[in-house]
Structure 1
C-alpha cells in the first residue's frame, strides 16, 4: 500500500500537517487557521506577520 504513494506526496502531506500544527500552536482556530495555512503554502511554519495580521484584523 505504501509503495503506491510517492515520496513527494508524503512530504507534501507532512508539510501540510506541520502548518496545521503550527497554526494551532499559535492558538488559531477555524477559518483563521485555514487562512494562515493557505497563505503559507510554501513554508513549514506560519510566518509571524500572518499571525499578527490575523490576530489584529480577524480575531478582534
Structure 2
C-alpha cells in the first residue's frame, strides 16, 4: 500500500500515510473542504449560501 498523498511507502505508525506530514496534509484537506462532494440538492445549496453569507457578515466590522 502506498501513501495516498505522496505515493511513498506507508509507515505502520501513520498508516495509511507515510508520515505525520502527509497525515496532516490529508487532515487539512478535510478541514478546508477540499474533499467535499458537490450536491444536486437545491435546499442544501441555499443553506450553504446562507451560512457563507452569515459567516462573512460576522467578519465585517460594525
TM over 0.5: same fold?
no
Pick the structure with greater CA Rg: 2
TM-score, normalising length: structure 2: 0.30
Of Structure 1 and Structure 2, the greater helix share is in 1
